[in-house]
């Protein structure tokens, strides 16, 4: 389905309006709720707002299948996603960055699983590899969908991670966008996204994004293996993969 230029303008205008409240949120809301008991509630409300707004914008033009909420490529997404997670873990532990497990707590673990899998993974994948990817693909094709969704995904995280952290997040977005292109759906990526964030919270609770420029490599071999696992699959999907059937997006 191709949308005309006028429809494209309305799609992107509505998406821009959806993100517009982020400006006062970064300037006033988040600084005032960070470290308080309100932070969890505000995060849940924020993700529900994005999910509701994204569905409202997307379902007026496409169906859930076209937005990536289908069963296509779930296994592929999980396999390549797990390779990404292993590669990311190896590159992390090869450096001097802190790596420590948080004390076990059943209520906390249950809450984080629900939050990261049921909200963060679902909502961010739907927004960036679902709605935004679909709008860019219908406008100018797959290349813009991949690179455009990657750029927007990185910008989205600047406020919480800083420029350097957002650059790393954009690289994750690029890998996920390539997987989404080849898989044809986002449900597998929802699981992988949730798992990535859950592992990060459980093993890297004290990481400070402002210290990322002070990284030292302690285990070069692990770093090399990690980068092979990170880059090898995405290069294969980009250049070497030959799908049996033409995927619709």
Mean pLDDT of 50-71: 95
Q: Is residue 248 part of a domain?
A: no
Does residue 245 belong to any structural domain of this protein? no
Spatial separation of the C-alpha atoms in residues 75 and 38, rounded to whole Å: 37
| 20-32 residue pLDDT tens | 888 787 778 877 8
Q: Whole-model pTM above 0.75?
A: yes
**Residue 75 belongs to some domain of the structure:** yes
Residue 246 counted as domain residue: no
Cα angle at 27 between 8 and 127, to 5 degrees? Answer: 30
Token digits of residue 239: 């250049």
Whether residue 214 lies inside any domain: the answer is yes
Domain hosting 81: range is 5-240
pLDDT in tens, 119-156: 999 999 999 999 999 999 999 899 999 999 999 999 98
Number of structural domains (the chain) is: 1
The conformation of residue 217, written as its DSSP 8-state character, comes to: B
**Tokens 């532990």 sit on residue:** 93
pLDDT, tens digit, 9 for 90 and up, residues 147-199: 999 999 999 888 777 777 788 899 999 999 999 999 999 999 999 999 999 99
Angle at 72 between CA 67 and CA 73, to 5 degrees: 115
Q: Give CA separation, 81 vs 10, 27, 73, 229, in Å.
A: 33, 34, 12, 10
Distance, in Å, from the CA atom of 169 to the CA atom of 85, rounded to the nearest integer, reads 13
């Amino acid at each position: 389905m191709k949308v005309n230029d006028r429809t494209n303008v309305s799609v992107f205008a509505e998406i821009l309006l959806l993100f517009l409240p982020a400006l006062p949120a970064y300037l006033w809301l988040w600084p005032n709720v960070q470290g308080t008991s309100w932070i969890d509630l505000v995060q849940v409300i924020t993700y529900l707002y994005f999910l509701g707004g994204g569905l409202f914008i997307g379902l007026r033009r496409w169906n859930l299948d076209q937005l990536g909420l289908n069963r296509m490529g779930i296994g592929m997404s999980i396999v390549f996603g797990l390779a990404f997670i292993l590669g990311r873990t190896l590159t992390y532990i090869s450096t001097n960055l802190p790596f420590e497990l948080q004390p076990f707590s059943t209520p906390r673990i249950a809450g984080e699983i629900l939050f990261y899998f049921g909200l963060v993974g679902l909502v961010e994948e739907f927004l960036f590899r679902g709605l935004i990817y679909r709008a860019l693909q219908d406008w100018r094709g797959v290349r813009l969908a991949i690179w455009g969704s990657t750029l927007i995904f990185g910008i989205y995280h600047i406020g919480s991670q800083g420029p350097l952290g957002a650059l790393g997040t954009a690289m994750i977005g690029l890998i996920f966008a390539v997987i989404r292109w080849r898989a044809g759906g986002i449900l597998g990526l929802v699981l992988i996204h949730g798992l990535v964030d859950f592992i990060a919270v459980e093993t890297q609770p004290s990481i400070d994004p402002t210290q990322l420029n002070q990284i030292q490599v302690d285990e070069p071999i692990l770093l090399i293996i990690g980068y092979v696992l990170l880059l090898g699959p995405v290069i294969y999907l980009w250049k070497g993969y030959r799908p049996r059937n033409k995927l619709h997006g």
